[in-house]
Structure 1
């Protein structure tokens, strides 16, 4: 009986070994890393794309905003918190409004003041396939915040709208009175 089992298992092991070996050979030939991460052609293509965008109406508008007092203020505010964003460290702030400034687009958010500068904080659902009920439950504790509440915020990213003097922070972590109110789970496995 054992000889029959061994006789049946041997071809199975040989075939599966060949399949995996063939797969490994295909993967090795498919992946050929470049000797340099960026080629000169890639850099030039990127520069060309950037120049095209800067010449577009959106690029011109952004450049004008960047040179305006609002743009300069936004860049100065971003510089002030750049180390906190990079290190994902605590920033102490005060809630100044429970909605975005008028005319701004975005999901659920609020305004906070950190070291004298106001920032927009945006909260987006982690996955687009979440139902509306799950979205509300995820942010339910944020609804308990009030104007003038002192909070601790951590953010992984900051950006500009191109029309406002306020930097836009992603709301990744919010705590009040040493109690976590909101914490976005970091995605596993890359993008």
Structure 2
């Protein structure tokens, strides 16, 4: 009987020791990864260094090109609405994003005569990987030429896309809410 008890306790002790040691290793790694923020001079030097790389040169060329200027002009048109988080009236122009897009689920919209990508992020799947989460269910009912009102906290750009990218935080159709981004958990 004592042998059976020792046989059961010994693996428990070994596993507990391994788990405790693994926790200490993770604690040390997290303490080392915390670094102080860069000063303005360090950020400027890092930016100059990046601008000298092939990607930096390519980005600067894109900014100076007609496509880059068009994207920046589109961002400037809606910046006031983004800062104030006010409604922007839009018309859905396409139910799919440009080919090769990696923005997740989204649609193309036209606001004040300019085209924008309205991105909502990746679709989440249930545990059985067969059912799509209902978060975007009402957005899937949108049709081309639907008039919607959008609110967003963020607009961005990327050289890969010919349009500014609006992150969809709040969408209404016919005065009814069809999407509202859930607030982040555990953050600001």
Q: Which aligned segments of 4 or more residues in structure 1 are displaced greater than 4 angstroms?
A: 128-135
Q: Which runs of 5+ in 1 are unaligned?
A: 1-37
Residue of structure 2 equivalent to 1:56: 53
Relative to structure 1, the CA distance from residue 134 to residue 154 in structure 2 (aligned partners, 3 Å threshold; closer, same or farther) is farther
Give TM-score scaled by structure 1 length.
Answer: 0.72
Residue of structure 1 equivalent to 2:140: 143
**Deviation at 1:90?**
0.3
**Any conservation in 1 of the 2:104–2:122 contact (CA below 8 Å)?**
no
Distance 1:188 1:88 in 2: 21
Relative to structure 1, the CA distance from residue 133 to residue 91 in structure 2 (aligned partners, 3 Å threshold; closer, same or farther) is farther
Q: Deviations over 1:88-133 (max 9, x none)?
A: 110000000001012322201110000000000111259x897556
Q: Which runs of 5+ in 2 are unaligned?
A: 1-36
1:180 to 169, 177, 183: 177
Within 5 Å, which residues of 2 pair with 1:71-150? 71-124=68-121, 131=127, 136-150=133-147
Distance 2:130 2:184 in 1: 21
- SS of the equivalent of 2:178 reads strand
- SS of the equivalent of 1:185 reads coil
- SS of the equivalent of 1:162 reads coil
Distance 1:83 1:137 in 2: 31
Give TM-score scaled by structure 2 length.
Answer: 0.73
